[in-house]
Chain A
Amino acid sequence: MTTEYDLAGRKAIVTGAAKGIGHAVAERFLKSGAKVDIWDRDGKALAAAAEELSKLGPVHPCVLDVAHGHEVEGAVDDAVDHWGGIDILVTCAGVLGQVCPTPDYPEDEWHRIIEIHLTGTFLCARAASRHMLEQGYGRIVTLSSDSGKEGTPNMPAYSAAKAGIIGLTRGMAREFATRGVTVNAISPTIIDTEMGREAAKDFGEKALSRIPMKRYGQPEEIAAMIAWLCSEEASFTSGTIFDATGGRSHY
């Protein structure tokens, strides 16, 4: 027996679901009885993920860029039409971006990273929360990072965007507090995904030395935490940043 989360009948949107953490979340959700709208901007990777994930339960793929408001609005409408509502949103879409000293950091890269992470999270939450507030129930989980707490050298945009997600999460949580919608963030350190391994090339040894568990996290570990936060039972926790850093984070 393993732990089973009760998401029976819940309708979820998971962004960045083709790979990595998002994929693991979609998998755990399906195993927990949810119906999952899987979003990604990489159509080929998403099609492959959809084929695989559909063996576990009902999925509905949507190719879009979360940094574009009109695409997000359309995709949320589409998800609501398809499933008959929306109960859960998990925003995993993200890229590492350029790793480069701040004096040389390109302006367009700054805008690109902020748009994908911070603007993208806002746009998805704005569109999904309308439906959640109307029905008086919802679970939103955003993906921050220990970069957003500590700040990562040579990653000014990523660090700022991830810190911004913490502020956004807290603000929405308090705004929605009496209306049945919780908003929480996860703050992982390097996770063993394609993106995490890319980060490990630049920060690996130093990062590992700072992780008391002396290993990187697995996407399934993040997915388990998110599944608990998205269950009905996670009802008195909102506006919080759940840490998943193997003991690294200070707060």
Chain B
Amino acid sequence: MNRIDLAGRVALVTGGAQGIGLAIAERLLRSGAAVTVWDANEARLTKAGKVLTRLGPCETATVDVTDPRAVEASIAALVETRDTLHILVNNAGIMGKVAPTLDQSDADWTTAVDVLLHGTFWCSRAALPPMLAAGWGRIVNIASISGKEGTPNMPAYSAAKAGVIGLTKSMGRELGESGISVNCITPAAIETDLIRNTSPEHHKYMLSNIPMGRFGQVEEIASLAAWLCSEDCSYTTGGVFDASGARSSY
């Protein structure tokens, strides 16, 4: 296994109580970082916290990333405790309703875009001051292949993830000389509860599009994310890193 060096780094992972976020939090802790994990689900977070604290310095906080004031206050609290913030992994996400566009309500659209796109922006904006003060930072956004291709019957998810890619590129360029890099990962379907809970037809459809013929594992995304958070990833910013089992066409 690669030994990613994140010794002395202070990291925040949103949506870290399960799935990809939990795997990333684990990998960052094993790589020597101090990690704060946020999640909107308190019960799941408590459970995850018990596992994570065994791996290294880990704190948890129940935070709703769609609330910009709560995000700001929670990052201020983090910086108060850890003195700084070097790494932000914007992972918090929901799939939103899987249904034809005509059956998507106002709320279906708004809810998904709020978590996926607005949440990523609120967290990134709030994380910048401590990173700028440190003169070093890594922001890794979990986008999706849906943001490149567009997934049928997932209009809000696809649009929000495309938005995350645009946000990544914009901030990456803006911060080019700052020592802070901003990159995103575009996974294809990863084997998490989000996937397990979809209909068998949707399941089959997703699998048929992946040349490797399998879903990705959360550890595979965590490995890439940890590398993107390391000093070794130093000449790429605004980059879109694919992890789609050879599916992505660009």
Residues of B within 8 A of A235 (CB): 220
- Is A211 on the interface with B (CB-CB < 8 A)? yes
Interface segment among A3-11, A61-69, A115-123: the answer is A3-11
B184: min CB distance to chain A, Å: 12
Q: A6-B2, A237-B243, A238-B246 are in contact. Are A247 and B237 (CB under 8 A)?
A: yes
A56: min CB distance to chain B, Å: 18
What CA separation (Å) do A251 and B3 show in the bound complex?
29
Q: Are the CB atoms of A178 and B232 closer together than 8 Å?
A: no
Q: Are the CB atoms of B237 and A225 closer together than 8 Å?
A: no
- Is B177 on the interface with A (CB-CB < 8 A)? yes
Q: Are the CB atoms of A231 and B237 closer together than 8 Å?
A: no
Q: A3-B231, A174-B211 are in contact. Are A236 and B243 (CB under 8 A)?
A: yes
B150: min CB distance to chain A, Å: 16
- Is A37 on the interface with B (CB-CB < 8 A)? no
Q: Are the CB atoms of A3 and B177 closer together than 8 Å?
A: no
Residues of B within 8 A of A228 (CB): 2, 224, 227, 232
Of the candidates B2, B5, B188, B242, the one having the most CB atoms from chain A within 10 angstroms of its own CB is: B2
Q: Are the CB atoms of A212 and B172 closer together than 8 Å?
A: yes
- Is A95 on the interface with B (CB-CB < 8 A)? no
A198: min CB distance to chain B, Å: 19
B169-204 CB mask vs A (1 if < 8 Å, else 0) is 100111111000000000110000000000000000
- Is B94 on the interface with A (CB-CB < 8 A)? no
What CA separation (Å) do A178 and B212 show in the bound complex?
5
Residues of B within 8 A of A233 (CB): 1-2, 220, 223
- Is B56 on the interface with A (CB-CB < 8 A)? no
| Nearest neighbor of A218 in chain B, beta-carbon distance | B235
Residues of B within 8 A of A1 (CB): 3, 5, 7, 32
| Nearest neighbor of A4 in chain B, beta-carbon distance | B3
Q: Are the CB atoms of A178 and B211 closer together than 8 Å?
A: yes
Q: Are the CB atoms of A234 and B172 closer together than 8 Å?
A: no
Q: Are the CB atoms of B211 and A236 closer together than 8 Å?
A: no
- Is B248 on the interface with A (CB-CB < 8 A)? yes
Residues of B within 8 A of A97 (CB): none
Of the candidates B1, B7, B187, the one having the most CB atoms from chain A within 10 angstroms of its own CB is: B1
Q: Are the CB atoms of A247 and B173 closer together than 8 Å?
A: yes
Residues of A within 8 A of B241 (CB): 237, 240, 242
Contact of B239 among A5, A178, A217, A243 (CB under 8 A): A243
- A-B CB contacts (within 8 Å), total count: 133
Q: Which residues of B19-75 have CB atoms within 8 Å of chain A's CB atoms?
A: 32
What CA separation (Å) do A228 and B2 show in the bound complex?
8
- Is B96 on the interface with A (CB-CB < 8 A)? no
Residues of B within 8 A of A217 (CB): 235
- Is B116 on the interface with A (CB-CB < 8 A)? no
- Is B230 on the interface with A (CB-CB < 8 A)? yes
Q: Are the CB atoms of B236 and A244 closer together than 8 Å?
A: yes
- Is A177 on the interface with B (CB-CB < 8 A)? yes
Q: Are the CB atoms of B242 and A225 closer together than 8 Å?
A: no
Residues of A within 8 A of B220 (CB): 233, 235-237
| Nearest neighbor of A237 in chain B, beta-carbon distance | B243
Residues of A within 8 A of B245 (CB): 177, 236, 238
Q: Are the CB atoms of B236 and A211 closer together than 8 Å?
A: no
Residues of A within 8 A of B244 (CB): 236-237, 240
- Is A154 on the interface with B (CB-CB < 8 A)? no
| Nearest neighbor of B250 in chain A, beta-carbon distance | A251
Q: Are the CB atoms of A246 and B176 closer together than 8 Å?
A: yes
What CA separation (Å) do A236 and B23 show in the bound complex?
15
What CA separation (Å) do A218 and B232 show in the bound complex?
11
| Nearest neighbor of A188 in chain B, beta-carbon distance | B235
Q: Which residues of A214-250 have CB atoms within 8 Å of chain B's CB atoms?
A: 214, 217-218, 221-222, 224-225, 228, 231, 233-240, 242-247, 249-250
In the A-B complex, the 6 residue pairs with the smallest Cβ-Cβ separation, listed nearest first, are: A212-B176, A177-B211, A240-B242, A224-B232, A238-B246, A236-B220
**19 intermolecular pairs with C-beta atoms under 8 Å apart:** A1-B32, A3-B5, A3-B232, A4-B2, A177-B212, A178-B211, A211-B176, A213-B177, A228-B224, A233-B220, A236-B187, A236-B220, A237-B224, A239-B246, A240-B242, A240-B244, A240-B248, A242-B239, A249-B239
**A residues neighboring B (CB under 8 Å):** 1-6, 170, 173-174, 177-178, 182, 188, 211-214, 217-218, 221-222, 224-225, 228, 231, 233-240, 242-247, 249-251
5 further interface pairs, Cβ-Cβ under 8 Å (given A212-B176, A240-B244): A1-B3, A212-B172, A228-B227, A239-B247, A240-B241
